Amino acid sequence: MSFSLKSSLQGWLLITPLLIGCLLFYAIPFVLVIQYSLSTGSGGSSDFIGFINYQDVTANGMFTLAFGNTMRFLAAALPLIMVLAYLIALLMQKHANKHKLLKSVFLFPYIMPVVGAVILVELLFADSGLVPSIANALGLPLVDWLGGPAAFGVVLLLYLWKNTGYSVILLLAGLVTIPEEQYSAADLDGASSWQKFFYITTPQMWYSVFFAIIFSLINAFKCFREIFLIGGTHPNENIYMLQHFLNNSFENLNYAKLSVASVLLLVVVLVVFAVFYGFVRRKEAFRS
């Protein structure tokens, strides 16, 4: 047996458990979800009905509300977290090695248990919390922070607080790989800080930004855990997300509706991924 064939067999043996796990817990369930979304019921006796379930779900008022809120949350959360994380990473770029303790502090909100984050929100924004108490002492109008329209802003603030530090670490990892000699050469040529940012830093950070966006997108969907604990199964309509629609469909054993919403959620994630990836690929092709 040749060395290359032996290495290939060893490689396949090593990844076989992972492939089996992906097949059992991801591939097969995904195929079943597609089947349920195109049929009636959820068992072997279900009948194929095509895209009727998709028409019913997209015409459902609760789904359109959940879909609209989710898109609004992503449209606000992703740009805000990237701008904020990028600014912090740029401030730490020159002395990244001296900020080990600070980087650990940035990761603390990310690893904080969900329940702990929700308790913190309750202490700040509940009816008897710190923020309403201060507003009441100052004679400001009372705001229902968790049960009214302001709940969207509270959830957005919680997402930024919990996940910005992780994005900072990802972006900082890309910034420290940029050779310092390039900045030194730019200084000799009389380049300004803005010119160095646009012509040296930005072109070499596209893939780091792309990965930070993808992880921020994933964490944005994970934010449902906090929203669920804050608002329950049926929260204020401003924070009723796609994950609420999925959870309620599961509780009602409506597998067809649940499967359709899951497929549409996957389509949204893939579209966002494709848009950002295509943008980064074009930028990299132009740079090369």
CA dihedral 73, 76, 78, 84 (to 10 degrees): -140
β partners of residue 39: 48
| Backbone dihedral angles phi then psi of residue 10, each to the nearest 5 degrees | -65, -40
Overall average pLDDT of the 140-150 stretch: 82
Quick: pLDDT tens for 103-138: 777 788 888 888 888 888 888 888 888 888 888 888
Q: Is 48 helix (H, G, I), strand (E, B) or coil?
A: strand
| Backbone dihedral angles phi then psi of residue 48, each to the nearest 5 degrees | -75, 125
pLDDT at 1 exceeding the cut of 60 = no
Whether this model's pTM surpasses 0.85: no
Taking the C-alpha atoms of residue 259 and residue 250, their distance in angstroms, rounded to an integer, is 9
Overall average pLDDT of the 249-257 stretch: 77
pLDDT at 199 exceeding the cut of 60 = yes
What lies within 8 Å, CB to CB, of 252 at 6+ separation is none
**Residue 96 — very low, low, confident or very high, per pLDDT cuts 50/70/90?**
low
Question: Which pLDDT value is given to residue 61?
Answer: 84
β partners of residue 48: 39
Q: What is the total residue count of the chain? A: 288
Overall average pLDDT of the 188-215 stretch: 84
From residue 255, give the alpha-carbon distance in Å to each of 32, 39, 41, 55. 10, 10, 7, 15
Quick: pLDDT tens for 12-65: 888 888 888 888 888 888 888 888 888 876 555 567 777 888 888 888 888 899
Taking the C-alpha atoms of residue 71 and residue 54, their distance in angstroms, rounded to an integer, is 19
Question: Which pLDDT value is given to residue 77?
Answer: 92
Question: Which pLDDT value is given to residue 82?
Answer: 92
With contact defined as beta carbons under 8 Å apart, do 73 and 155 qualify? yes
Give the mean pLDDT of the chain.
82
Question: Which pLDDT value is given to residue 83?
Answer: 93
Taking the C-alpha atoms of residue 52 and residue 75, their distance in angstroms, rounded to an integer, is 29
Taking the C-alpha atoms of residue 285 and residue 288, their distance in angstroms, rounded to an integer, is 5
pLDDT at 69 exceeding the cut of 70 = yes
Question: Which pLDDT value is given to residue 41?
Answer: 64
Question: Which pLDDT value is given to residue 242?
Answer: 84
The amino acid at 44: G
